[in-house]
Amino acid sequence: MATIAGLDWLLLRRLVGYDIPNQQISFLSVVIGLLALASLPALAVLAYHTLNCAALRYRLDRNGITIYGVGTERTIPIGDVRQILSGVQIPGVITHRRGVRWPGCERGVGRIPGVGVVHFFATQPWPDQLLVLTSGPAFAVSPRSPEQFMKAFAARQELGPNRQLEAEVRRARWLTWPLWTDRTARTLIGAALIINLGLFAYLSTRFPGLDLQLPLHFNSLGQVDRIGGKVELFALPMIGLIVLGTNLVAGLILYKWERAGAYLLWGAAAAAQVLFWLATLGLLS
């Protein structure tokens, strides 16, 4: 995360400190801006997994094992647990593995011959993990003291449950928000963003060949009534970006109660970007 943030700082320093003030805006400026923008999802994913590692913990009682993460809580009833084995006792090789495998963070799903599907929730490499075998999928965990964990589990299993639990996964409300799977919402927001970024790219590509002073406004008779520097052309996509941001936030607030209203706001934001494109083409024609 620090490496990506450092690279972003260098890119933006070049963009803000040299390209824009010295009016050296070009296609390279677009590439720099897009690289910085594209890094934001990567930073978000890394931050999420980092927080997941920090939040990962296990609670063991006589009723079952609960695995906690960021916004998730997975319950394994003690009656479903058939056996707990150390990773070194499993001879099979993990296959078809998906998810995150980073030093200190192993989350995802794999398959071990003779065991079946395994869900990984660990901060230690595979040989140092414990495998919780159940009547369904298995779970790989990494308690701080595996020996104490296994002894504590045996003691609680001998006591037996005093409350019947169900195998379930509970997720925070923000993780189950319909917006994540709403194709219409993603299409409208994505279209508005792409059209806006496309206008920035178009202006940056045309910028080196434009005159220093350009007509920026016309009166009702079609006569030029304002001339300004060519850098002022970027006010159009900037205003478009502000419109997009405002409608995006307003739509997110409205989405829970009136989904059609949110679609209308996001669609209007996309339409506004088209209007700014037409205005820009009109000024440069």
pTM of the complete model: 0.76
**For 59-98, how does the pLDDT look when each residue is reduced to its tens digit (9 = 90+)?**
999 999 999 999 999 999 999 999 999 988 888 788 889 9
Domain-terminating residue out of 156, 173, 190: 173
Q: Answer yes or no: do 42 and 75 share one domain.
A: no
CA-atom Rg of the chain in angstroms: 28
pLDDT band of residue 111 (cuts 50, 70, 90) is very high
pLDDT band of residue 224 (cuts 50, 70, 90) is low
CA dihedral 5, 8, 10, 16 (to 10 degrees): -130
**For 135-181, how does the pLDDT look when each residue is reduced to its tens digit (9 = 90+)?**
889 999 999 999 999 999 999 988 888 888 899 999 988 888 888 88
Lowest mean pLDDT among 92-101, 205-214, 216-225, 227-236: 216-225
- Mean pLDDT within 104-127: 91
Q: Answer yes or no: do 233 and 183 share one domain.
A: yes
pLDDT band of residue 226 (cuts 50, 70, 90) is low
Whose CA is closest to 128, among 145, 113, 148, 110? 145
Q: Do 122 and 110 touch, CB atoms closer than 8 A?
A: no
Q: Answer yes or no: do 30 and 90 share one domain.
A: no
Q: Answer yes or no: do 166 and 256 share one domain.
A: no
Cα angle at 109 between 169 and 65, to 5 degrees? Answer: 40
Q: Is the pLDDT of residue 273 over 90?
A: yes
Domains: count for the chain: 3
Rounded Cα distance, 239 and 235, in Å? 6
Q: Answer yes or no: do 148 and 222 share one domain.
A: no
Count the Cβ atoms, other than its own, within 10 Å of residue 62.
15
Q: Is the pLDDT of residue 248 over 90?
A: yes
Q: Answer yes or no: do 151 and 201 share one domain.
A: no
Q: What is the mean pLDDT of the chain?
A: 89
Domain-terminating residue out of 117, 138, 173: 173
Q: Do 262 and 256 touch, CB atoms closer than 8 A?
A: no
Whose CA is closest to 211, among 273, 283, 128, 109? 283
Candidate ranges 19-28, 52-61, 83-92; pick with highest mean pLDDT: 52-61
Q: Answer yes or no: do 144 and 184 share one domain.
A: no
- At residue 231, the pLDDT reads 78
Q: Answer yes or no: do 150 and 219 share one domain.
A: no
Between residues 51 and 229, the one the model is more confident about: 51
Between residues 92 and 5, the one the model is more confident about: 5
Domain-terminating residue out of 55, 77, 93: 55
Rounded Cα distance, 173 and 177, in Å? 6
Q: Answer yes or no: do 85 and 51 share one domain.
A: no
pLDDT band of residue 209 (cuts 50, 70, 90) is confident
Lowest mean pLDDT among 116-130, 192-206, 229-243: 229-243
Q: Answer yes or no: do 191 and 216 share one domain.
A: yes
94: containing domain: 58-173
Q: Is the pLDDT of residue 215 over 70?
A: no
Q: Answer yes or no: do 90 and 186 share one domain.
A: no
- Mean pLDDT within 213-235: 69
Q: Answer yes or no: do 233 and 203 share one domain.
A: yes
Q: Is the pLDDT of residue 21 over 80?
A: no
pLDDT band of residue 27 (cuts 50, 70, 90) is confident
